[in-house]
Amino acid sequence: MNKLGVPCGTETSAERMHDHRRKVDSMANLTHLPMPLQESYDWQYEGACRGTDSAQFFSPDAERGSRRRSREDQAKLVCATCPVLDRCRDHALSAREPYGVWGGMTEQERAVVLSRPTLAG
């Protein structure tokens, strides 16, 4: 038992809340998505990636270094031929997609773009 009377090895509600907040912070920001109308996402049917293995666009947990860069480069080659590349990129940036290659950009590249100050005008 700890000082609070909680058995050792048992998460406290504060620890569970912290873990929940960490998970929520890493999720896509859904407030920027269009209304859930089929027409809002029809562009995805035209994507060059449609029908390909999604593993080409999303990193396994332990993937690092040259293996990751190689996979991302291969995904970007598919994106380079895509007729809806701009819509895909716009979606990924506005939804703040946290994972994968979208619109020819990795999550790190999108993070750089999103961290830049916007021009107010």
For the segment 10-34, what is each residue's pLDDT rounded down to a tens digit? Answer: 555 555 555 545 555 556 666 666 5
pLDDT at 61: 86
- Name residues whose C-beta falls within 8 Å of residue 92's C-beta, 6 or more positions apart in sequence: 102, 103, 105, 110
* Helices 65-80 and 85-95, axial angle in degrees (round to 10): 130
What average pLDDT score do residues 39-67 get? 91
pLDDT at 32: 61
pLDDT at 6: 47
- CA–CA gap between residue 68 and residue 62 (Å, rounded): 9
pLDDT at 20: 46
pLDDT at 90: 94
Average of per-residue pLDDT values in the chain: 80
For the segment 60-104, what is each residue's pLDDT rounded down to a tens digit? Answer: 888 999 999 999 999 999 999 999 999 999 999 999 999 999 999
Percent of the chain with pLDDT over 90: 55
Residue ranges with strand state E in the chain: none
Is 90 exceeded by the pLDDT of residue 39? no
